[in-house]
Structure 1
């Protein structure tokens, strides 16, 4: 699932206790590139690195694959930094470079078909797993004879059913309450006689309520507008939440809905490679476009934003629908990226269950053999992912889920906030002493969205491309470095904060911890320090 939408819902909270976490102070639009000492925010010091250590240096373009829900290749701030397959960059309907993908100019779309149709909505993997196992186990009793393998499946199935029921109840509750809130707000705005672009907080405060429902809606609206500093932004969040929960019920948790027929592949054949189409934008490219902009929106062109990397080529791989991605598509996307020259892969998606982990593991191993660094978002459940899995993972496992090694050129990224306070780790961010390597800015991140527009989003989805951009920066200025060496430099150069911060415990309550208790490095990535570390490393290797 594209992770920032879930982060958004968690940040809002469920009614009636609506909470706009991490939004008490307005962030500078470019804050993730700024420096704590110079600017007072916990950015990664990108601008400082470019203005000092990297000034005047030459760099080599690095291809970064964005495996996501689609990228707007016409965006004003991205069109100049796209990877282009010069051997097959026209629309003649022929596979000119004979790589199995017809006219793959800027990448490939693994969730479409040859006729140009695309999957937009899909199930959660949880729903797909229940649909698979339900016919076999729905009538099974504890006394029913089962083999050891079947018994494991049955126990897993029972756990899935419980989780499914909880998620469905939450979705129904959310749809009901956000739907009612939106309906009340719509009626209030009509009575006031203004649309959201003209409404002010004063209009809301001066409105005379006539029902208890209106009083509740006004109370929530006042708090939300104060936090967002905009009626329009607040209202769009309520509308988005209403859509989100509706999608959960209609698609993500709907066992009767299965759109895979659109693709036309043999889904059970994980070795099948050549399906899809070259439409890397697709019907909903907001998430992937935002991610791509963080990595490499063209720097210093006088428009939009500055991405982290200044010598980057974005390869777009449309793989993630509104719902959970499928392992076969993820594996094929990783392979495509590695085969076509990507040296960094960003993966701002994740799910709680795996369908064919072996296929993904083998693709990751292939990418590692091609000297690719993989960067993955930790997830937005506010959980310890040493305990609660978020797939794909850096760990290779066997059929019984026993660890059989790990990817050595892989970075898992949690999300951090603007300030060195209790909320330094975003309240939605997953964490893990063994599993999460670093933290990076993931709150109030302003970046590119479709139609040459820009928007704030938040989530570990936004933190991961900050690190992918940093990896591209390092590899472009130090092309001699391997993927593993680049990872080691990034991890070694983190900024450590010697104070306790809040995270959610397993019981749902907050607890105070140090960063090195909830991550491998105990720090936040920093471009300036990474360049310093890379210079040290290169000096040692020359001796």
Structure 2
């Protein structure tokens, strides 16, 4: 194995291990706990139920989860899955005449008529380069027509970026594969499937690679067991790099024939199938549990909201979502009565922002509150492009739209999750998004996940909770209440800028400079007439 690659993977392994350090100190259900009473910077949901909502009546709220799929049979989700009473299951007829046959629990815009579904997709930049490769075939900077110069320059820049990303992904894949191989050989020599730190201490390495591997594992196993590291970091890292090379960044890969639509026709509405789970429902199921996992069954976890029904809408593959699918998912959710939409997805490029803008405007006109995850690249999205966006192409802004960053559990310099995007004008609030335990598909399982994808549904759950107990409030009012009732942060946090750790005021991270709070929000909601 290349020595430089081994060195790089040594660093990657250590960095990959960092997010789980100290997770034993996070309490169960921490996102719903209270900073004062529980010494954990949750959003005070449990305090609100105990002190403000006890004995009060609520009305059910429909929440659409626009994502990769939802396991509607999970023990903690099956009671809260929406059922379309206007549709007769399995009869092959569009009973409610909405254009979607047998959409009993939602819709899958990534599926085909034969029941198959897209799992992997390219990134948007890959699709843009593929499109423009055909458009500018035989064209160079010397002979490009004047009217096409700007578009050609964008194409060249995109192609260069794609080539750079693909090169990095291939290098990462080679490096992870090499690290994995050496680690597996060492473990084979140790002779135990789940070796302990003591086993690595007693291991006698042969050669520099094994010596470095032993030192690396002795450091890593201080904070986690081998099995967790191998499965969550090495196997997951290998899978991610492999998928990037094979699918996300592969200009020759195009799975859209599975759907059978015209992928370039953004106005096309009626395609897909009714499989809301799809081939990989981990992300969407996890999001759904955070929002509204059954609080009455005394098993599993507790969602933020206690009276919701989840509409599953598949629009997000393992890769970048298409603008066409995003727009149709938003419209479908709004037409079926969803009052809050969770959008835990995003990308840096957009094929057709206008069609998404039109769908957002449509949802806003129907009194829908849209909640979007800010993204996980530690970018300032005031300056870095991030789609979808609440800012329309004409410069105006969607009135009932909230963008959410991710926070951790300690009220100190580590409060901002290290991966979370931020933006003083583009991100509204922060919410818990580190090591959040929630529902995952198949066999009623649960797992901890990190991301603004986990923070957004905390706010979605809060929005649904407010709309449930105060159903006369509009989407704009609910947004106003959530933003006005945050817990303000008056200290600095640490974040990475390039290779440097910098200390900046939390108020520079988002519009409100605070963490959402259910207790404060519900007290404020009670004052609205």
- State yes or no: 1:385 paired with 2:376: no
Q: Partner of 2:6 in structure 1?
A: none
Q: Partner of 2:128 in structure 1?
A: 129
User: Which deviates the most, 349-358 or 507-516?
Assistant: 507-516
**1:391-406 equivalences in 2 (<5 Å):** 391-397=387-393, 403-406=394-397
CA contact (8 A) 1:18 1:220 kept: no
- In structure 1, the gaps of 5 or more residues are 1-11, 398-402
CA contact (8 A) 1:383 1:504 kept: no
Q: Partner of 2:109 in structure 1?
A: 110
- State yes or no: 1:439 paired with 2:435: no
Q: Deviations over 1:230-257 (max 9, x none)?
A: 3222111210110000000000000010
- In structure 2, the gaps of 5 or more residues are 1-8
Q: Partner of 2:228 in structure 1?
A: 233
Q: CA RMSD in A?
A: 1.6
Q: Partner of 1:18 in structure 2?
A: 15
Matches of 1:472 and 1:283 in 2, distance apart? 28
Q: Partner of 1:504 in structure 2?
A: 496
Please point out which of 468, 471, 480 is paired with 2:460: 468
Q: Deviations over 1:449-480 (max 9, x none)?
A: 01110111101111111110110111101101
User: Which deviates the most, 160-169 or 380-389?
Assistant: 160-169
Q: Partner of 1:360 in structure 2?
A: 356
Q: 1:14 to 1:268 in 2, by over 3 A?
A: farther
**1:180-199 equivalences in 2 (<5 Å):** 180-196=178-194, 199=195
**1:20-419 equivalences in 2 (<5 Å):** 20-26=17-23, 27-137=26-136, 139-148=138-147, 150-196=148-194, 199-227=195-223, 229-237=224-232, 238-397=234-393, 403-419=394-410
Q: Deviations over 1:131-187 (max 9, x none)?
A: 011233365443334234x22212212221232122112211211121122222222
Moved over 6 A (4+): none
Q: Partner of 1:481 in structure 2?
A: 473
Q: Deviations over 1:335-382 (max 9, x none)?
A: 000000000000000011000111111000110011000000001111
Please point out which of 484, 501, 504 is paired with 1:492: 484
User: Which deviates the most, 38-47 or 88-97?
Assistant: 88-97
Alpha-carbon offset, residue 19 of structure 1: 4.3
- SS of residue matched to 2:17: coil
Matches of 1:141 and 1:305 in 2, distance apart? 58
Aligned residue pairs, count: 517
In the superposition, the TM-score normalised over structure 1's length comes to 0.92
Q: Partner of 2:507 in structure 1?
A: 516
Q: Deviations over 1:277-319 (max 9, x none)?
A: 1101011111111111111111142211001111110110111
- SS of residue matched to 2:221: helix
Alpha-carbon offset, residue 274 of structure 1: 1.1
Alpha-carbon offset, residue 96 of structure 1: 1.6
CA contact (8 A) 1:174 1:245 kept: yes
In the superposition, the TM-score normalised over structure 2's length comes to 0.94
Matches of 1:297 and 1:310 in 2, distance apart? 8
